Chain A
Amino acid sequence: MSEQGVWTMDVNKEVLKLRGLAVPLTLLAVWWIMTNNEWVSAVFLPPPETVAATCVKLFLKGKIFVDLNESITKVAIGFLAGITAGFVLGTAMGLSSTIEKLFGPLFNAVRQVPILGWIPVLILIFGLTELTKIIFIAMGAFYPMTLNTFDGCRQLKKEYLEVARVFEFNRLRLLWRFILPSALPSILAGIRVSMSEAWMLVIGAEIFFKARGGIGDMMWEAKTRVQMDIVLITILIIGVIGFILNHAMKILENRLLRWRSSN
């Protein structure tokens, strides 16, 4: 019997949690067995104990926090710049069909190119500076934000314009009181996607710009020196931070949406 779409209450949360751990624990066991019996070379896959030990060492040494700080700073600045620009363009495009026709085609055309492709151009023209990296990250955050904001604003234009015309609201009031709150879900979704994109691009920037510093660079150096344990640890950290950022955005989203509906 398949149980799709129906929440069967007799499977309680405890059992679910245990089930969720089953696969990871099995993998861990397999990992331990494989490395301790040397079925696989330690260079390829170090034993779990080694990885854990290295992890502890890294955190005690403290340098990892410096790297994390660098990466997170870059993400923060690029992200904020990107979503601001994205918000401005998205709203403008959503509200005015003239602007949409003006910027739309170019926007869609550039969107087809994977952001990574712009790296060589950015470097050749702007140089290998911190600013270039931030521009790169901002570009990545810019796109989802614009798209989502645009989507959100576009849907409501007609209905609310009618209302506004009836009540003779001026444009600014219209924007603040009606359009933005209605577009909020889309805008917040856009912020969330932009965040994941920005975090990924920080790692990308650190790998491809080949300058020193940051957690992505740490991972790449470890790969260059074939230090598998550090590679695994950095991947874990990158994933965890990505998760935290995503989760934080989700919480923010829920809070703001709740506030909105109570308004």
Chain B
Amino acid sequence: MRQTVRQKVITLILGLVLPVLILIAMEVVARFELTTSQLFVEPKVIFETLVDMIKGDELFINLGISTLRVSIGFVLGGAAGLLFGTVMGISRTFESYVGPIFNALRQVPVLAWIPLFILWVGIGEGFNISFIAVTAFFPMALSTCEGVKGVSKSEMEVGAVLEFSRFKQLSTIILPSTLPAIFTGLRLVLSITWMAVVGAELVVSSEGIGCMMYRARQQLQVDTVLVCILAVGLTGYTMNILLEQTEHYFLRWRKVAG
């Protein structure tokens, strides 16, 4: 249903109402000191800090480091999860051996792995990347496995009738049908790995956006903390959009071919 220009404008305005109200509320609270908290900063100060931090290279360097960590962990853990999930979905035997312990380990909340990894891997990039990779692994494996299992029997029968080799079955039937589930998994993994990187950096780190946030907190700089949050949110949002675009590209291709 195409929206008229008027409707689009109304949508835009409505969307802005709340953010503007919140900004106003913040300004009022900070200006008139309505709270006992001395740290309620005026939006103006936050904006100034934002500008300062963009001008200096602190923000981008740290953001870049965190994004890099997320990407590497994402790729490593995601690839492993993809592989593992595919095998688990295809082979009943494999699943019966590995399934229970996989499901058991999966129950452990992401953050609970931190102490273990710190004690085993030590402090440093190794910890960051391995931790993020592990958090990426489980959801990816699960989504892939469910996607593979969801391939319908009729599609499999086509492959059997045409006597496809196993590899051909995989590439032409299973993988394309699983793509939607894989992309759902990817989107989930993206948000989980961002949480993991912020968590890891809040715990122990020497640089990164989480580290910046942590030091700002220790030094009572609320405005810096808020700017960091904004930065993380925007980066996550951008990566999400990129992912969605990739998804549309792949799925459109599939619809045409299928």
Contact = CB atoms under 8 A, between A and B. Distances in A.
Genuine A/B complex = yes
Interface of A: 2-6, 8, 11, 15-16, 19-24, 27, 44, 98, 101-106, 109-110, 112-121, 123-127, 196, 199-200, 203-204, 207-208, 216, 219-220, 222-223, 226, 228, 231-232, 234-235, 238-240, 242-243, 246
Given A117-B213, A203-B111, A223-B115, A22 B97 contact: yes
A124 B220 contact: yes
A5 B229 contact: no
A27 B97 CA distance: 13
Interface residue range, chain B: 35 or more
Contacts of A120: 213-214, 216-217, 225
A139 to B, nearest CB: 13
Contact of A242 (B109, B198, B199): B109
Contacts of A110: 233
B26 to A, nearest CB: 11
Dominant SS among interface residues on chain B: helix
Interface of B: 10-11, 14-19, 22, 37, 39-40, 89-93, 96-101, 104-105, 107-116, 118-120, 148-153, 156, 166, 169, 174, 191, 194-195, 198-199, 202-203, 210, 213-214, 216-217, 220, 222, 225-226, 228-229, 232-234, 236-237, 240
Contacts of A239: 104-105, 107-109, 112
B92 A8 contact: yes
A256 B100 CA distance: 27
A203 B100 contact: no
A216 to B, nearest CB: 8
Nearest to A125: B37
20 contacts: A2-B166, A4-B89, A8-B92, A27-B101, A101-B11, A102-B18, A103-B18, A105-B19, A112-B236, A112-B237, A116-B199, A120-B216, A196-B109, A203-B112, A207-B203, A216-B111, A219-B112, A220-B115, A242-B109, A246-B107
